[in-house]
């Protein structure tokens, strides 16, 4: 199963991507996560990436396409993947389609997790993340049990440097201008499902599972 998760910053792509990956045993690939790991590695390239991410801008396509290509050609991606944060532009969406065509594969669905801009800012500023295992928390909706430490692995939590109100607003603007057109791209090619992201986390996950079940049923029936 090959899925793309679309949605405003804070929509729940990371939260739901983790759950879907566990449920369907396919990797959850966050391109934001890939960018942050290059930044954390201390490589020169990380400094270049940081200059974009810190201002809420997109990292240029030439870097992103190559990182994505290498990641989805890895062995663990043979049975599919869940992309979170990719594509960010219609150009990236088209290049993903070309890349898949080359491998005689197809994207099964793009799923748009819909929330409002106000909800996005609220969620982003309330988010905390485990530095070690990446578990996502919300100080409002899903707080950790011991303040500042991960429930799963006990390591300290942190707040992403781009998770402040000012950069969040810029990220939302960039999303509406550059990424939202992908929703139309997938709708026009009959590959879009939308879910209401302003329900609780379990309810959003239930809607996503229902959408994925339809896709598996179609595949089992031999339909494209
Ligand atoms: P990226 O890391 O992808 O950030 P983003 O798109 O801004 O999305 P977020 O990670 O902020 O939100 P999310 O939807 O994952 O929400 P989450 O599940 O954490 O990208 C960062 C940067 O990298 C970009 O700005 C860009 O510079 C660069 N980049 C990445 N990909 C690129 C590409 N392809 N091309 C170019 N540049 C690229 O949830 C948020 C919070 O809400 C959490 O606290 C969570 O607990 C809570 N929450 C989740 N669901 C619910 C719910 N249903 N109810 C209540 N709270 C909820
Ligand atoms: Mg995320």
Q: Output the pLDDT for position 223.
A: 63
- Residue 11 Cα to ligand 1 midpoint, Å, equals 7
- In the chain, where the domains are located: 2-220
- CATH class of the structural domain 2-220: alpha beta
| 77: DSSP letter | G
Helices (H), 83-200: 90-102, 117-126, 165-174, 180-188
**pLDDT over threshold 90, residue 184:** yes
pLDDT in tens, 15-36: 999 999 999 999 999 999 999 9
- Residue 125 Cα to ligand 2 midpoint, Å, equals 13
- Is 0.75 surpassed by the pTM of this model? yes
pLDDT in tens, 78-108: 999 999 999 999 999 999 999 999 988 999 9
* Site to substitute for ligand 1 among 6, 12, 117, most atoms within 8 A of C-beta: 12
Q: Output the pLDDT for position 220.
A: 86
Q: Output the pLDDT for position 224.
A: 53
């Amino acid at each position: 199963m090959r899925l793309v998760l679309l949605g405003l910053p804070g929509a729940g792509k990371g939260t739901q991507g983790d759950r879907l990956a566990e449920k369907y045993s396919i990797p959850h690939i966050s391109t934001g996560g890939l960018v942050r790991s290059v930044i954390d590695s201390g490589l020169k390239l990380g400094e270049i990436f940081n200059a974009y991410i810190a201002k809420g801008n997109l990292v240029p396509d030439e870097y992103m396409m190559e990182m994505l290509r290498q990641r989805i050609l890895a062995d663990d991606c043979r049975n599919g993947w869940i992309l979170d944060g990719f594509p960010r532009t219609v150009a990236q969406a088209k290049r993903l389609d070309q890349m898949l065509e080359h491998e005689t594969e197809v994207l099964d669905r793009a799923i748009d997790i819909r929330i409002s801009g106000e909800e996005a800012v609220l969620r982003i500023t309330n988010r905390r993340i485990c530095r070690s295992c990446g578990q996502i928390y919300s100080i409002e909706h899903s707080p950790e049990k011991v303040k500042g430490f991960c429930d799963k692995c006990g390591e300290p939590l942190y707040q992403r440097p781009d998770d402040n109100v000012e950069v969040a607003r810029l990220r939302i603007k960039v999303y509406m201008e550059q990424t939202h057109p992908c929703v139309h791209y997938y709708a026009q090619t009959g590959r879009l499902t939308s879910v209401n992201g302003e329900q609780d986390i379990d309810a959003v996950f239930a809607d996503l599972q229902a959408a994925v079940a339809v896709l598996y049923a179609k595949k089992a029936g031999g339909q494209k």
